[in-house]
Amino acid sequence: MNSFERFCFNLLGQRMKSRRDDYHQLRNNIISARFKTPFEVYISTALISSIIVGLLAAVVIGTLSWVFQLPTLVKYKGAVPGLLVGLAPYSLIIGTIIITIFSLLIFGGITYAIFLLYPGVEAGNRRRNIDASLPFAINYITSMSTAGIPPAEIFRLLGDSPIYGESHVEARYVAREIDIFGRDLIDALRLVSASTPSARMKEFLQGAMASISSGGNLTDYFRTKAEQYSLENRQTQKMFLETLSLISESYVTAMVAGTLFLIILQSIMSTLSGDNNPLFLYAVIYAIIPLGSAAFVIMISSMTPEA
C-alpha cells in the first residue's frame, strides 16, 4: 500500500468497511484478480481519485470555456422565455458554471467506473491465461505425482514455476494457505477453488479435493484431467481457426469488395450528376475503412485464445 492509498484509506476506509455488502461483485473480482490491495483501500482510492480527476478536469475545462468564451458561441433562434432573456448578459458566467459542473460529473464518473470495471477485466484476463496454461500445468503435476511426490509439495513446486502462467499463481496460493495459515491441503484447495476466476481450475481443484477425501488414486485423476483439458484445448483452437476463416471472408467482403463498390458507385454517380463534392468518398476512405479495420482487429484480438 503506497502513501496515496494509505491517505485515501485514512479518509474513507472505516466508512467503506460498513459498505462491503454493497460491493459484493467488486470484492469477488478483486480477489479473483489476485490484487494485493484490500477492498477498503481499493474503493477508498477509487473515490478519492475520481474526485481529484473530476476537479482537475472541471478546473481545466471551465478555465478554457471562460478564456475562449465558449458559452457565448451558442446561439438560439426562436421564442425564448422572459427569464432566460433577462439572464442573457450573464450567459458566459452561467454557461461556464454549467460546463464546469458537467465536467466534474462526467470525468469523475468515468474514473470511478474504470476503477470498478478494472478488477473484472483483470480477472477475465487471468481466467483466459489459466485456461490456456492449465493442461501444461496438470501435465507437470502428473509427472510429479507419478514420481511419488506428496500433493502439497507438488503444488509448492508448481507455485515456484512461473513458466506455467497464472496457473502457478493459483498453486502458489494453495501453498500459501498451507505454509502460512496452517491449513490442510483440502481446506487450501477449497479456498482457492472458491476464489479462482477459471471454471476449469475450480473444477480441477474440486475434483482433487474429492479424490483426496475418498482415498482415490490422485495420479490417475491428474492424468485423466490432463488428457481432458488437452483435448478441449485442441477443440478450442480448431473452432477458433474456423471462426477466423469466417471473419476473414467477412472482412474481404465488407471492407475490400464493399468499399471498392461504394467508391466506384459514388464516382459514377458524381460523374452523371455533375456533383464534384467528394465528401462521401472522404467518409469511406478516412472513416469507414480505418474504423472498420480497427473493429475487425479488436474483435479478433478479443477472440484469440491464449497461446
pLDDT tens-digit profile of 155-178? Answer: 999 999 999 989 999 999 999 999
- For the ranges 12-21, 77-86, 264-273, the lowest mean pLDDT is seen at 77-86
256 with 193, same domain: the answer is no
DSSP string, 71-94: GGG----S---HHHHHTGGGHHHH
- pLDDT for the residue numbered 89: 63
Assess whether pLDDT exceeds 60 at residue 83: no
- pLDDT for the residue numbered 299: 85
- pLDDT for the residue numbered 234: 84
135 with 220, same domain: the answer is yes
* Domain termination residue (choose one: 230, 250, 278): 230
- For the ranges 57-61, 83-87, 269-273, the lowest mean pLDDT is seen at 83-87
Assess whether pLDDT exceeds 90 at residue 238: no
How many folded domains does the chain comprise? 3
Q: Grid coordinates in use for 197? A: 476466476
Distance between CA atoms of 289 and 252, rounded to whole angstroms? Answer: 12
Q: Where are the alpha helices (DSSP H) in 75-90?
A: 82-86
- Under the banding of pLDDT at 50, 70 and 90, the label for residue 122 is very high
24-48 residue pLDDT tens? 899 999 999 999 899 999 999 999 9
* Domain termination residue (choose one: 215, 230, 245): 230
46 with 140, same domain: the answer is no
Distance between CA atoms of 296 and 258, rounded to whole angstroms? Answer: 15
Distance between CA atoms of 71 and 96, rounded to whole angstroms? Answer: 7
Q: Grid coordinates in use for 50? A: 475520481
Instruction: Find the radius of gyration of the CA atoms of the chain.
Output: 29
What is the extent of the structural domain holding 289? Answer: 236-303
- Under the banding of pLDDT at 50, 70 and 90, the label for residue 82 is low
Q: Is 10 exposed, middle or buried (0-12, 13-18, 19+ CB in 10 A)?
A: exposed
